[in-house]
Amino acid sequence: MPTQEIPLHDWTGFFDQFSRRHQGWRATVEVLSNEIGAELEARDSPLVGISADLKDTERSISIILGESGQHCLTHIISDPQYVRLKQTNDGIDEALAIESRDGVTTLLHFRSSNKPEMLDGVIP
């Protein structure tokens, strides 16, 4: 399963495209760290979008999940250092791993991994 690191200078455009392609897809967010182990932030919630705020001295990435018109969960990753996209052997987006400077990794993965053109308007 190929994994691709997304360079910092591409984060804004990458997240814009990723959000458009996967908006509404059911996703799970997990936070992994040595101190707390694995902690589930959200399960099977529709993806609203992901954005990067790349100020000179401060960086953050926001993952927004929730139903349209209802309360949304916003998970913020402070001081992200690496963004990695994991794909299946067929090139289908499977998961994102975002690692912060302190070693905490946030995983965003989908309930089902399908090519967008195979969905025919159906949200997995």
Q: What is the pTM of this model?
A: 0.84
Q: What is the pLDDT of residues 76-104, one digit of tens each?
A: 999 999 999 999 888 889 999 999 999 99
Domain ranges of the chain: 3-111
- At 89 the pLDDT is 87
Percent above pLDDT 70 for the chain: 87
> What architecture is domain 3-111?
Distorted Sandwich (2.70)
5 has which bridge partners?
84
Indicate the helix (H) or strand (E) that contains 64: strand 59-65
Alpha helices in the chain (DSSP H): 11-22, 116-119
Tell me which residue has tokens 């963004």: 83
- At 112 the pLDDT is 60
For residues 19-34, give the mean pLDDT.
94
Bigger pLDDT: 58 or 65? 65
